Amino acid sequence: MAKRHRTDDSDSDSNDSASYYHRKRKHSHRPRDYHGPAKNVCILERKTQKLTSLIKHYLEESKRSTKDDITAVLPGYAYGSLEGLYEILKSRNSNLQSGTSKPPNLPTYEVNPSLPVSENNTANQEQEEGEYPPPLPDLHSDKLRRQVFTHISRAYELYPNQSNPSELLDIHNERLEFLGDSFFNMFTTRIIFKSFPQMDEGNLSKLRAKFVGNECADQFARLYGFDKRLVLSYSAEKDQLRKSQKVIADTFEAYVGALILDNQEETAFNWIRQLLDPKIKSTIVQGPIDKLAKSKLFHKYSTQGHIEYRWVDGAGGSSEGYIIACIFNGKEIARAWGANQKDAGSRAAMEALKVLPKGR
């Protein structure tokens, strides 16, 4: 029995050995795509991608509705760490396959360079008459192009173990937004100062505040699809920051700042001027207010009918303003806009004095 057992073992070993060499010979003719470090990176990339997908699936399908509930089961930084690792491994794997190399300390995610506005996407090209929005100026620096569309949440997601915030200042777009905000204000000041030579300082300040506010910058950014190109962290996406007016407006200002650092200050100024042009043309410059217009109208026509003033349009506030109608004997005879109801009423009275017969 023992002898037969040893023979079986020997046969088994021979079969295993033959099977091993058969497999080796069978697979020896297959081309190998990866060698050494490339193979290891490829394996890590696949494992990280799988784990990242599982965690993402858990976060999306979990019935725990609050962040605190999810964090109690899964640390909040886990997904960000894995996603950042996956992006780095993915980039390094593609570099090893292509034979190129990139600095390992920079995020290597892709930003879609395509723009939904125009195929010819340079501000140096001649703008066709009536074309709006104007072509988006190109950024020459790849680093600035990445940084403009990197939200601070994404930077911390890529580098979750970074304890020094100053190390991430060249990754996200907040410094660019700070610079762009200043130049956006300066450019707008130059434009409206030249466009409205008869406007006083107070009205110029109100007009500038309207043009450089988040609402206007958000509109400009969405004209070029900045809201779709912005790279946010997973948690920021869940919080729907992409729909935030301020976040998208900040991205527009960051692009202006990037143009300045890209030595394209004059190009940036012309771009802002063309963007503001329709708003400049639609702005009605009003003359000085006759604060006694209501009194004049009352003393001249009160004996002939009833005079009243109604707020008929305008969202209110100093930016949107009020449109007040002057009603004489139940019929609207004039209306005017004002930053407040008092000014709008006075201007409506001024218009009514022009409309009503002089001899009445």
Instruction: Report the chain's mean pLDDT, rounded to a whole number.
Output: 76
Domain residue ranges in the chain: 33-108, 142-282, 293-355
Examine the pLDDT at 25 and tell me if it is beyond 60: no
pLDDT score for 96: 64
Helix and strand totals (H; E) in the chain: 16, 3
What is the per-residue pLDDT across 4-23, written as a single tens digit (0 to 9) for each?
544 444 454 545 545 544 54
What pTM value is reported for the model?
0.55
Q: Are the CB atoms for 189 and 208 separated by under 8 Å? A: yes
CA distance 223 to 124: 19
What is the per-residue pLDDT across 29-55, written as a single tens digit (0 to 9) for each?
444 444 555 666 667 767 777 776 766
Examine the pLDDT at 101 and tell me if it is beyond 80: no
CA distance 285 to 281: 10
What is the per-residue pLDDT across 125-154, written as a single tens digit (0 to 9) for each?
444 456 899 999 999 999 999 999 999 999
CATH of 293-355, one of 3.50.50.60, 3.30.160.20, 1.20.210.10, 3.40.50.720: 3.30.160.20
Angle at 43 between CA 40 and CA 47, to 5 degrees: 140
Environment class of 38 (CB within 10 Å of its CB; exposed 0-12, middle 13-18, buried 19+): middle
Examine the pLDDT at 275 and tell me if it is beyond 90: yes
Examine the pLDDT at 173 and tell me if it is beyond 90: yes
Least reliable range by pLDDT among 33-37, 42-46, 107-111, 161-165: 107-111
Examine the pLDDT at 229 and tell me if it is beyond 90: yes
From the list 255, 229, 252, 253, the residue with the least C-alpha distance to 242 is 229
Span 243-270, mean pLDDT? 97
What is the per-residue pLDDT across 312-333, written as a single tens digit (0 to 9) for each?
887 776 556 788 999 998 889 9
Which band of pLDDT confidence, cut at 50, 70 and 90, is reported for residue 225?
Answer: very high
Q: What is the CATH number of domain 142-282?
A: 1.10.1520.10
263: left (phi over 0), alpha (psi -120 to 50) or beta: left
Least reliable range by pLDDT among 105-109, 161-165, 199-203, 353-357: 105-109
